[in-house]
Amino acid sequence: MQVKCSLCGKVEDICKIHKDYAKLAKNKDAPYFCEHCLFRVKTQAKDVQAPPKPI
């Protein structure tokens, strides 16, 4: 199955053992994020939630 990343637009082929395959097979409009964008989003979320460093 070919899927397109919702953030960067990269097209990837995923097989039945991929973690998101079942979700994407049931709902074609479900968002998909490639590994690079998923890591970037997680890192940015951690940085935003981190307490500010004292001066």
pLDDT in tens, 3-46: 999 999 999 999 999 998 999 999 988 999 999 999 999 999 99
Is pLDDT of 2 > 90?
yes
Nearest to residue 42, comparing CAs of 3, 7, 4, 1? 7
First to last CA, the chain: 51
pLDDT at 39: 97
Confidence class of residue 53 from pLDDT cuts 50, 70 and 90?
confident
Alpha helices in 1-55 (DSSP H): 21-26, 35-49
Sign of CA dihedral 19, 21, 22, 24: positive
- State residue 29's pLDDT score: 87
Instruction: Say if CB 14 and CB 1 are below 8 A apart.
Output: yes
